[in-house]
């Protein structure tokens, strides 16, 4: 006996090899792994969507915030225009970490110029942000017209409203609204605090804060190792230049005054 709860032969969208996907634990999101590159289902779903939308992704200018997966390594290895960043409170923004070399960027307050990237990637980042509205607005600012943000985030609340778990008070101190939950962080042994339990309303939230147009992709393809809980892929697209008005808003918004709803304030 192999000792695996699940064992499937197929093709991995991350490493593009004939592989065997295996899981020794019933929580497939973290444990249904590629036998070659070690990728998880959410990474494979993201790469499948990316390849479908932009098969020319290797030629794109790409920014990935907080990389650390097999998909991140492939993007870095095969896309010459790939730039990665992490946030380090002791490193000046826009500069390289003196030891590890990664660029320091605050996703909510980036130093990149406007219209820098064709693609921005975040993998399980938006559930850890204190101001996801500012982060997606910054993503939109740094995207070129026609570019898009592709991300994974655990949508654990499904059709129920998103719920804020933690926030910062006026003094910048963390205020816990629920029992603290932490996820693994590749550069911080303490992990990353979960600030939001997202529902499907995340798409409306992102769009209202950024002017982008978001679609939630739901994939299930066991032959590609894409089967698990909470592996939706969100794609937020910036309108092409021809559809953007002089004030920078998408054409459908021309003349419309909107107050961005703080869904999670």
pLDDT value for 88: 85
104 — pLDDT class (breaks 50, 70, 90): very high
Alpha-carbon distances, residue 225 vs 14, 82, 190 (angstroms): 10, 25, 30
90 — pLDDT class (breaks 50, 70, 90): confident
Task: State the average pLDDT over residues 68-77.
Answer: 97
Other beta carbons less than 10 A from residue 179's beta carbon? 6
pLDDT value for 98: 82
Arithmetic mean of pLDDT over the chain: 90
Task: State the average pLDDT over residues 53-68.
Answer: 97
Judged against a pLDDT cut of 90, whether residue 255 lies above it is answered with no
Judged against a pLDDT cut of 50, whether residue 1 lies above it is answered with no
pLDDT value for 246: 52
pLDDT value for 245: 54
DSSP state of 87: -
pLDDT value for 243: 57
Judged against a pLDDT cut of 80, whether residue 249 lies above it is answered with no
* Contact of 71 with 91, CB cutoff 8 Å: no
Give the chain's domains with CATH numbers.
42-239 (3.40.50.150)
253 — pLDDT class (breaks 50, 70, 90): very low
Judged against a pLDDT cut of 50, whether residue 258 lies above it is answered with no
Q: Which two tokens stand for residue 24?
A: 């020794």
One DSSP character per residue, 170-204 reads TTS-EEESS---EEEETTEEEEEE--EE--TTHHH
Other beta carbons less than 10 A from residue 87's beta carbon? 17
pLDDT value for 77: 98
pLDDT value for 186: 67
Task: State the average pLDDT over residues 214-224.
Answer: 97
Q: pLDDT by residue (tens digit) across 155-203?
A: 999 999 999 999 999 888 999 999 999 987 766 667 789 999 999 999 9
3 — pLDDT class (breaks 50, 70, 90): confident
Alpha-carbon distances, residue 103 vs 95, 97, 98, 156, 190 (angstroms): 6, 6, 10, 31, 21
Helix (H, G, I), strand (E, B), or coil: what is residue 53? helix
23 — pLDDT class (breaks 50, 70, 90): very high
């Amino acid at each position: 006996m192999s000792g695996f709860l699940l064992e499937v032969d197929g093709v991995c969208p991350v490493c593009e090899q004939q592989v065997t996907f295996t899981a020794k634990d019933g929580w497939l999101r973290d444990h249904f792994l590629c036998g070659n590159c070690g990728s998880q289902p959410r990474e494979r779903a993201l790469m499948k969507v990316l390849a479908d939308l932009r098969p020319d992704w290797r030629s794109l200018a790409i920014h990935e915030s907080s990389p650390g997966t097999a998909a991140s390594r492939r993007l870095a290895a095969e896309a010459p225009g790939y730039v990665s960043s992490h946030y380090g409170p002791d490193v000046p923004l826009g500069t390289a970490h003196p030891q590890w070399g990664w660029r320091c960027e605050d996703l909510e307050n980036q130093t990149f110029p406007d219209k820098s990237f064709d693609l921005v990637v975040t993998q399980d980042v938006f559930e850890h942000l204190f101001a996801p509205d500012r982060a997606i607005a910054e993503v939109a600012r740094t995207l070129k017209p026609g570019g898009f943000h592709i991300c994974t985030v655990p949508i654990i609340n499904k059709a129920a409203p998103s719920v804020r778990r933690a926030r910062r008070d006026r003094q910048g101190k963390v205020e816990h609204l629920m029992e603290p939950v932490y996820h693994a962080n590749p550069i911080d042994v303490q992990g990353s605090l979960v600030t939001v339990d997202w529902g499907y309303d995340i798409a409306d939230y992102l769009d209202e804060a950024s002017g982008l147009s978001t679609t939630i992709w739901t994939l299930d393809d066991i032959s590609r190792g894409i089967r698990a809980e909470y592996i939706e892929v969100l794609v937020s697209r910036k309108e092409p230049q021809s559809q953007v008005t002089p004030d920078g808003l998408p054409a459908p918004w021309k003349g419309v005054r909107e107050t961005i709803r703080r869904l999670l304030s």
